[in-house]
Protein backbone atom coordinates (compact mmCIF):
# COMPACT_ATOMS: atom_id res chain seq x y z
CA UNK A 1 0.00 0.00 0.00
CA UNK A 2 1.32 3.43 -0.97
CA UNK A 3 2.05 5.73 1.94
CA UNK A 4 0.57 8.97 0.65
CA UNK A 5 1.79 10.91 3.64
CA UNK A 6 5.37 9.85 2.89
CA UNK A 7 4.99 10.87 -0.77
CA UNK A 8 3.64 14.30 0.17
CA UNK A 9 6.43 14.73 2.71
CA UNK A 10 9.13 13.76 0.18
CA UNK A 11 7.71 16.17 -2.42
CA UNK A 12 7.64 19.01 0.08
CA UNK A 13 11.14 18.18 1.32
CA UNK A 14 12.47 18.02 -2.25
CA UNK A 15 11.17 21.40 -3.39
CA UNK A 16 12.17 23.13 -0.16
CA UNK A 17 15.61 21.50 -0.28
CA UNK A 18 16.08 22.63 -3.90
CA UNK A 19 15.11 26.22 -3.12
CA UNK A 20 17.29 26.21 0.00
CA UNK A 21 20.26 25.00 -2.04
CA UNK A 22 19.64 27.66 -4.69
CA UNK A 23 19.58 30.52 -2.18
CA UNK A 24 22.44 28.90 -0.27
CA UNK A 25 24.68 29.23 -3.32
CA UNK A 26 24.41 33.01 -2.97
CA UNK A 27 24.88 32.95 0.81
CA UNK A 28 28.09 30.94 0.51
CA UNK A 29 29.41 33.29 -2.19
CA UNK A 30 28.66 36.30 0.01
CA UNK A 31 30.31 34.65 3.03
CA UNK A 32 26.97 34.60 4.86
CA UNK A 33 26.93 30.83 5.28
CA UNK A 34 26.33 31.00 9.02
CA UNK A 35 23.78 33.79 8.63
CA UNK A 36 21.21 31.28 7.37
CA UNK A 37 21.68 29.20 10.50
CA UNK A 38 21.39 32.21 12.76
CA UNK A 39 18.41 33.69 10.92
CA UNK A 40 16.45 30.44 11.22
CA UNK A 41 16.30 30.85 14.99
CA UNK A 42 14.40 34.11 14.56
CA UNK A 43 11.38 31.92 13.68
CA UNK A 44 11.21 30.52 17.23
CA UNK A 45 9.17 33.34 18.83
CA UNK A 46 6.69 33.17 15.95
CA UNK A 47 6.32 29.42 16.37
CA UNK A 48 5.89 29.86 20.12
CA UNK A 49 3.11 32.42 19.66
CA UNK A 50 1.42 30.17 17.08
CA UNK A 51 1.43 27.25 19.53
CA UNK A 52 0.13 29.38 22.38
CA UNK A 53 -2.78 30.86 20.43
CA UNK A 54 -3.44 28.01 17.95
CA UNK A 55 -2.34 30.02 14.90
CA UNK A 56 -0.64 28.92 11.67
CA UNK A 57 3.03 28.21 12.56
CA UNK A 58 4.31 28.94 9.04
CA UNK A 59 2.64 32.34 8.84
CA UNK A 60 3.85 33.36 12.28
CA UNK A 61 7.38 32.11 11.59
CA UNK A 62 7.46 33.97 8.28
CA UNK A 63 6.11 37.14 9.90
CA UNK A 64 8.93 37.16 12.45
CA UNK A 65 11.55 36.23 9.86
CA UNK A 66 10.44 38.90 7.42
CA UNK A 67 10.24 41.55 10.16
CA UNK A 68 13.74 40.60 11.32
CA UNK A 69 15.06 40.65 7.73
CA UNK A 70 13.59 44.11 7.17
CA UNK A 71 15.00 45.44 10.45
CA UNK A 72 18.43 43.98 9.66
CA UNK A 73 18.34 45.61 6.22
CA UNK A 74 17.24 48.94 7.73
CA UNK A 75 19.84 48.90 10.50
CA UNK A 76 22.59 47.93 8.07
CA UNK A 77 21.59 50.88 5.90
CA UNK A 78 21.46 53.35 8.81
CA UNK A 79 24.40 52.19 10.91
CA UNK A 80 26.78 50.55 8.38
CA UNK A 81 27.24 47.70 10.87
CA UNK A 82 28.11 44.30 9.33
CA UNK A 83 25.13 42.13 8.40
CA UNK A 84 26.45 39.15 10.36
CA UNK A 85 26.76 41.24 13.53
CA UNK A 86 23.16 42.44 13.29
CA UNK A 87 21.92 38.92 12.56
CA UNK A 88 23.81 37.70 15.64
CA UNK A 89 21.96 40.17 17.86
CA UNK A 90 18.58 39.04 16.51
CA UNK A 91 19.66 35.42 16.95
CA UNK A 92 20.33 35.55 20.68
CA UNK A 93 17.23 37.64 21.37
CA UNK A 94 14.95 35.35 19.36
CA UNK A 95 16.39 32.16 20.81
CA UNK A 96 15.89 33.40 24.36
CA UNK A 97 12.32 34.58 23.73
CA UNK A 98 11.35 31.46 21.76
CA UNK A 99 12.56 29.00 24.37
CA UNK A 100 10.68 30.90 27.09
CA UNK A 101 7.31 31.06 25.35
CA UNK A 102 7.09 27.65 23.63
CA UNK A 103 4.80 25.85 26.10
CA UNK A 104 5.76 22.15 25.95
CA UNK A 105 9.11 20.37 25.74
CA UNK A 106 7.77 18.08 23.00
CA UNK A 107 6.66 21.08 20.93
CA UNK A 108 10.05 22.72 21.49
CA UNK A 109 11.69 19.58 20.08
CA UNK A 110 9.50 19.78 16.97
CA UNK A 111 10.40 23.44 16.49
CA UNK A 112 14.12 22.78 16.89
CA UNK A 113 14.38 19.58 14.80
CA UNK A 114 11.30 19.66 12.54
CA UNK A 115 8.26 17.43 12.24
CA UNK A 116 7.55 16.67 8.60
CA UNK A 117 5.42 13.59 9.34
CA UNK A 118 2.19 15.60 9.50
CA UNK A 119 2.47 17.12 5.99
CA UNK A 120 -0.54 16.52 3.71
CA UNK A 121 -1.34 17.32 0.07
CA UNK A 122 -2.25 20.93 0.87
CA UNK A 123 1.10 21.47 2.62
CA UNK A 124 2.97 19.92 -0.32
CA UNK A 125 1.19 22.17 -2.86
CA UNK A 126 1.84 25.19 -0.65
CA UNK A 127 5.56 24.34 -0.48
CA UNK A 128 5.73 23.86 -4.27
CA UNK A 129 4.05 27.19 -5.00
CA UNK A 130 6.21 29.20 -2.60
CA UNK A 131 9.40 27.47 -3.74
CA UNK A 132 8.50 28.28 -7.35
CA UNK A 133 8.08 31.93 -6.38
CA UNK A 134 11.51 31.84 -4.73
CA UNK A 135 13.10 30.42 -7.90
CA UNK A 136 11.39 32.95 -10.17
CA UNK A 137 12.28 35.99 -8.09
CA UNK A 138 15.70 34.61 -7.19
CA UNK A 139 16.61 34.13 -10.85
CA UNK A 140 15.76 37.78 -11.51
CA UNK A 141 18.18 39.11 -8.91
CA UNK A 142 20.84 36.38 -8.99
CA UNK A 143 23.21 38.15 -11.39
CA UNK A 144 22.88 41.42 -9.48
CA UNK A 145 23.67 39.69 -6.20
CA UNK A 146 26.74 38.01 -7.69
CA UNK A 147 27.93 41.29 -9.24
CA UNK A 148 27.38 43.07 -5.91
CA UNK A 149 29.42 40.37 -4.19
CA UNK A 150 32.33 40.93 -6.57
CA UNK A 151 32.20 44.73 -6.42
CA UNK A 152 29.48 47.01 -5.07
CA UNK A 153 30.81 49.94 -7.10
CA UNK A 154 30.73 47.88 -10.30
CA UNK A 155 27.18 46.74 -9.54
CA UNK A 156 25.98 50.30 -8.96
CA UNK A 157 27.72 51.46 -12.13
CA UNK A 158 25.79 48.79 -14.04
CA UNK A 159 22.48 50.01 -12.67
CA UNK A 160 21.99 47.32 -10.03
CA UNK A 161 19.82 48.56 -7.15
CA UNK A 162 21.71 46.77 -4.42
CA UNK A 163 19.60 47.94 -1.48
CA UNK A 164 16.37 46.72 -3.03
CA UNK A 165 17.68 43.37 -4.21
CA UNK A 166 19.37 42.76 -0.84
CA UNK A 167 16.02 43.30 0.89
CA UNK A 168 14.25 41.01 -1.59
CA UNK A 169 16.95 38.38 -1.09
CA UNK A 170 16.48 38.48 2.68
CA UNK A 171 12.72 38.13 2.18
CA UNK A 172 13.23 35.05 -0.02
CA UNK A 173 15.52 33.53 2.61
CA UNK A 174 12.78 34.21 5.19
CA UNK A 175 10.26 32.29 3.05
CA UNK A 176 12.52 29.27 2.66
CA UNK A 177 13.54 29.23 6.32
CA UNK A 178 9.87 29.36 7.35
CA UNK A 179 9.12 26.42 5.04
CA UNK A 180 12.23 24.52 6.10
CA UNK A 181 11.38 24.75 9.81
CA UNK A 182 8.76 22.07 9.18
CA UNK A 183 11.30 19.89 7.37
CA UNK A 184 14.42 20.03 9.57
CA UNK A 185 13.61 22.53 12.35
CA UNK A 186 15.20 25.83 13.29
CA UNK A 187 18.30 24.20 14.73
CA UNK A 188 19.25 22.45 11.45
CA UNK A 189 17.78 24.80 8.83
CA UNK A 190 21.07 26.62 8.34
CA UNK A 191 22.72 23.35 7.35
CA UNK A 192 20.00 22.68 4.76
CA UNK A 193 20.88 26.02 3.17
CA UNK A 194 24.68 25.84 3.18
CA UNK A 195 25.70 22.16 2.91
CA UNK A 196 24.41 21.63 -0.65
CA UNK A 197 25.92 24.93 -1.77
CA UNK A 198 29.30 24.07 -0.28
CA UNK A 199 29.31 20.67 -1.98
CA UNK A 200 28.38 22.30 -5.29
CA UNK A 201 31.21 24.81 -4.91
CA UNK A 202 33.69 21.95 -4.74
CA UNK A 203 32.53 20.68 -8.14
CA UNK A 204 31.95 23.90 -10.05
CA UNK A 205 34.06 26.02 -12.36
CA UNK A 206 31.44 28.67 -13.14
CA UNK A 207 28.43 30.33 -11.52
CA UNK A 208 25.78 28.59 -13.67
CA UNK A 209 27.03 25.11 -12.79
CA UNK A 210 27.42 26.13 -9.16
CA UNK A 211 23.80 27.29 -8.84
CA UNK A 212 22.49 24.25 -10.71
CA UNK A 213 24.42 21.69 -8.65
CA UNK A 214 23.51 23.41 -5.41
CA UNK A 215 19.83 23.16 -6.36
CA UNK A 216 20.13 19.51 -7.41
CA UNK A 217 21.97 18.48 -4.24
CA UNK A 218 19.31 20.12 -2.10
CA UNK A 219 16.53 18.50 -4.11
CA UNK A 220 18.12 15.04 -3.72
CA UNK A 221 19.35 15.10 -0.12
CA UNK A 222 16.10 16.21 1.53
CA UNK A 223 13.68 13.53 0.19
CA UNK A 224 16.34 10.80 0.24
CA UNK A 225 17.19 11.57 3.86
CA UNK A 226 13.49 11.55 4.72
CA UNK A 227 13.03 8.16 3.05
CA UNK A 228 15.98 6.66 4.96
CA UNK A 229 14.64 8.08 8.21
CA UNK A 230 11.19 6.59 7.61
CA UNK A 231 12.62 3.20 6.57
CA UNK A 232 14.86 2.88 9.64
CA UNK A 233 12.54 4.76 12.03
CA UNK A 234 15.02 7.60 12.62
CA UNK A 235 14.50 11.35 13.15
CA UNK A 236 14.01 12.85 9.65
CA UNK A 237 15.59 16.27 10.21
CA UNK A 238 19.03 15.06 11.30
CA UNK A 239 19.04 12.31 8.65
CA UNK A 240 18.35 14.83 5.87
CA UNK A 241 21.34 16.87 7.01
CA UNK A 242 23.55 13.76 7.27
CA UNK A 243 22.73 12.83 3.67
CA UNK A 244 23.74 16.36 2.67
CA UNK A 245 26.99 15.97 4.61
CA UNK A 246 27.58 12.68 2.76
CA UNK A 247 27.22 14.48 -0.59
CA UNK A 248 29.66 17.13 0.63
CA UNK A 249 32.25 14.50 1.61
CA UNK A 250 31.92 12.83 -1.80
CA UNK A 251 32.40 16.20 -3.48
CA UNK A 252 35.77 16.55 -1.79
CA UNK A 253 37.02 13.55 -3.80
CA UNK A 254 36.61 15.44 -7.06
CA UNK A 255 37.14 19.01 -5.92
CA UNK A 256 37.77 21.43 -8.80
* Domain containing residue 73: 4-250
pLDDT in tens, 190-230: 778 889 999 999 999 888 899 999 999 999 998 999 899 88
**Domain assignment of residue 30, yes or no:** yes
**Domain assignment of residue 185, yes or no:** yes
CATH code, 176: 1.10.3470.10
**Domain assignment of residue 182, yes or no:** yes
- What is the three-state SS of 157-191? HCCCCHHHHHHHHHHHHHHHHHHHHHHHCCCCHHH
Q: What is the pLDDT of residue 176?
A: 87
When divided into structural domains, the chain yields a total of 1
**Domain assignment of residue 255, yes or no:** no
Neighbouring residues of 204: CB distance < 8 A, sequence distance ≥ 6: 210, 213, 256
**Domain assignment of residue 220, yes or no:** yes
Distance separating alpha carbons of residues 101 and 97, to the nearest angstrom: 6
Q: What is the pLDDT of residue 36?
A: 66
Q: Pick the residue with more confidence: 223 or 101?
A: 223
**Domain assignment of residue 256, yes or no:** no
Say yes or no to pLDDT of 155 above 90. no
Phi, psi for 228 (deg, rounded to 5): -60, -45
Say yes or no to pLDDT of 88 above 90. no
- Supply the mean pLDDT for the chain: 81
The alpha carbon dihedral of 243, 245, 247, 250 has a sign of negative
pLDDT in tens, 172-184: 988 888 887 777 7
Mean pLDDT of the region 154-162: 79
Predicted model pTM:
0.84
pLDDT in tens, 8-51: 888 888 999 999 999 999 888 887 766 666 677 777 788 778 87
Amino acid sequence: MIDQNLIFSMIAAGVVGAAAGYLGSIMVLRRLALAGDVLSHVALPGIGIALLYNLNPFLMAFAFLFAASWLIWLLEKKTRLPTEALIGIFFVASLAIGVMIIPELEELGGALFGDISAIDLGDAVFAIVLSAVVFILGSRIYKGLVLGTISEDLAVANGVKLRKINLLFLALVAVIVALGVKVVGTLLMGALIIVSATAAKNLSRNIARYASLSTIFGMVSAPFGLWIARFYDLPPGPMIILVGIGIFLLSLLNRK
